[in-house]
Structure 1
Amino acid sequence: MASPYLVFSLSASLGAMGELAGHERRGSLLWPGRSALIGLMGAALGIRRDGDFSGLDSLKIDVAVFDSGAPLRDFHTIQSVPSAVVKKPNSRPEAIRAAGGRLTTSITLRDYRAGVFYGVAVQGDGLEEIAAALQKPYFTLYLGRKSCPLSSPLNPQIIQADTVDEALGRVKVPIWLSKHVGLSKEVMIVGEQGSHRDLVNDVPLDRQRWHFASREVRIRHAHLLRKELT
């Protein structure tokens, strides 16, 4: 029996899909995690980071990895105030003054994926509202960090499909990618079905403190029947 799906595409010249983030390194998954996609839909709806995401947390999300891009690593030099010197300052200038110029300099690593393209299928309540918001987002949308703007519209659609594979096969592909995303290409799908299991940290526990829980995802490969190429 057919079910309603919201499907949309995500393409970017540069994307950062989140991973375990320490002080010195911030990695990137091969695909956008659940927290990233909920955050993107929330931003489109106008929900601020400290807002109420409860209406989105129950959504079921599957991702088709049409192109995971190429890895790219960026290096940042940062200066910070030793926590042993200044505890709980009201501002950075105050911390620097209290530290008497004693700063710690370190190099951080940030990972990206260059030239990515994904298809997303969403099930749950409020799909029409989310689709309208993705068409005309309240906040500017990024694929991860603010240095990663989208390279094409998301082309959201509400469709009826019997399976997730059928729904993902209806994702609209940007014209410049239509030859690259071929009809016979095998696609990696990340969701709740599949024989390969993996653990990712993409379930938000505390959005203010950027704390995330682990969840098990299923990964499989399938040939999608692409019914529309635009």
Structure 2
Amino acid sequence: MSVLLLRLAGPLQSWGAAARFARRTTESAPTKSGVIGLLAAAQGRDRREDLSDLAALRFGVRIDQPGTRIRDYQTAHHADTDKSMPVSERFYLSDAVFVAAVEGDDSVIDELYRALRAPAYLPYLGRRSCPPSKPVELAVHTDKGLEEALAGERWHAAQWYQRRLRRETVVPLEVIVESRSGGDDPGDTLRDQPLSFDPRHRRYGLRTLRSTSVRVTNPLARTTTTRRTPPLDHEPTTVLKDV
């Protein structure tokens, strides 16, 4: 088994697990369906193709920089009739950084890594309007499991965010991992298990996930304490006393 690590960073991201008509929300972390869609696009797969091999990959994500949730109020007109379209609300994560991981057979992971280095279609972070700001692929680990790979990866938060936490030499990060198939591992459920990306009938199943935390080193932490020079003794009336 191998693990592929991905860096998901950009000005905007949006990872929806549920949509209600004109209201498009986002989860606080990348969804499995969104990341599997990114990988399938990198391979050049058609939306109607079978994706059971990618859906079988075990998925996890580490929140390196949670970002800020923002709302976009959108209006649009039909291109042909100029008729007003329904007003919609779309939510995004601004300035967020995540490290995602997929675990599976060596051959599948190697093929995905090669595809990300020369993608057939541009990867995007949940929506086409959200391109990544840096290369997505990080590394392939053949000697580590999913949890170990996420725990051992360096902190990828922006430098300004690391400086904000410069008083902390070690920073705790939330990790959300998919429970192993067939296990009794308790956790929350989310309907983001991709079954079909066919535009005529997209289908998603439930999967179980659990939250843990890891601790990473802050490279911009203050490692030494600045000593203040003690104030000098100063008595301004000394000169007057001598006179």
* Alignment partner, residue 6 of structure 2: 8
**Aligned equivalents of 1:28 and 1:5: distance in 2?**
26
Q: 1:74 to 1:19 in 2, by over 3 A?
A: same
**Aligned equivalents of 2:140 and 2:55: distance in 1?**
19
Query: Does residue 24 in structure 1 map to residue 32 in structure 2?
Result: no
**Aligned equivalents of 1:40 and 1:131: distance in 2?**
12
Residue from 204, 222, 228 that aligns with 2:194: 204
* Alignment partner, residue 218 of structure 1: 210
Q: 1:196 to 1:186 in 2, by over 3 A?
A: farther
* Alignment partner, residue 86 of structure 1: none
* Alignment partner, residue 88 of structure 1: none
Q: 1:206 to 1:133 in 2, by over 3 A?
A: closer
- Report the structure number with the largest CA radius of gyration: 2
Contact 2:51-2:196 at 8 Å conserved across structures: no
* Alignment partner, residue 133 of structure 1: 115
Contact 1:19-1:26 at 8 Å conserved across structures: no
Quick one: percent identity of the two aligned structures?
Answer: 26
Residue from 171, 176, 195 that aligns with 1:185: 171
Cα drift, residue 199 of structure 1: 2.3
Any residues of structure 2 matched to 1:1-230 within 5 Å, and which? 4-78=2-76, 106-125=86-105, 126-171=108-153, 176-177=158-159, 180=162, 184-192=170-178, 197-208=187-198, 209-224=201-216
> Which structure ranks higher in relative contact order (CA pairs < 8 Å, sequence separation ≥ 6)?
1
RMSD: 3.1
1:189 alignment partner AA? V
TM-score (norm 1): 0.77
**Aligned equivalents of 1:112 and 1:72: distance in 2?**
5
Q: 1:175 to 1:46 in 2, by over 3 A?
A: same
Contact 2:64-2:155 at 8 Å conserved across structures: no
**Aligned equivalents of 1:106 and 1:177: distance in 2?**
40
SS of 1:42's equivalent in the other structure is helix
Q: How many residues align?
A: 207
SS of 1:156's equivalent in the other structure is strand
Q: 1:217 to 1:43 in 2, by over 3 A?
A: same
1:67 alignment partner AA? Q
Unaligned runs of 5+ in 2: 180-184, 219-243
Q: 1:104 to 1:136 in 2, by over 3 A?
A: closer
Larger mean Cα displacement after TM superposition, 16-25 or 171-180: 171-180
Cα drift, residue 179 of structure 1: 6.9
Cα drift, residue 10 of structure 1: 1.1
Unaligned runs of 5+ in 1: 81-91
Contact 2:189-2:206 at 8 Å conserved across structures: yes
SS of 1:18's equivalent in the other structure is coil
SS of 1:106's equivalent in the other structure is coil
Deviation string for 1:182-221 (max 9, x for gaps)? 862111111135x883222212234222332222211122
TM-score (norm 2): 0.73
**Aligned equivalents of 2:215 and 2:188: distance in 1?**
21
